[in-house]
Amino acid sequence: NAGVMQNPRHLVRRRGQEARLRCSPMKGHSHVYWYRQLPEEGLKFMVYLQKENIIDESGMPKERFSAEFPKEGPSILRIQQVVRGDSAAYFCASSPGQEETQYFGPGTRLLVL
């Protein structure tokens, strides 16, 4: 059973461009979570999604950030008009249900020049 997959592993963008990060959950998992890790910091929750639904987006910045988890395909975290402060590692986790263990992917390291 393959683990949580994220791509790309590394992404470089210039200020003002869009960043699109993908997450494929483990087989059988229908719950996806996105976290952001700033340099030398712990992970901070951003958003929790189930298929076609956003359950909790209390950690998402109000502007420029959006997330989706369509019926088919991976979950996408989209950052529009990136700024240098968006440079971070973005981790996706998945679980088979509520209150179940979350399994983390290897992360996408975004660098904004």
Q: Interacting stretch for other proteins, rule CB under 8 A, among 20-28, 41-49, 68-76, 79-87?
A: 41-49
Q: Contacting other proteins (CB under 8 A), which of 7, 29, 106, 111?
A: 106
Does 104 bind other proteins (CB under 8 A)? Our answer is yes
Amino acid at 100: E
Q: Which residues pair with 96 in a beta bridge?
A: none
Q: Contacting other proteins (CB under 8 A), which of 69, 107, 110, 112?
A: 107
Task: Specify the 3-state DSSP secondary structure of 87.
Answer: coil
Q: Contacting other proteins (CB under 8 A), which of 54, 59, 87, 96?
A: 59
Integer Cα distance of 30 and 49 in angstroms: 8
Residue tagged 């712990």 (tokens):
42
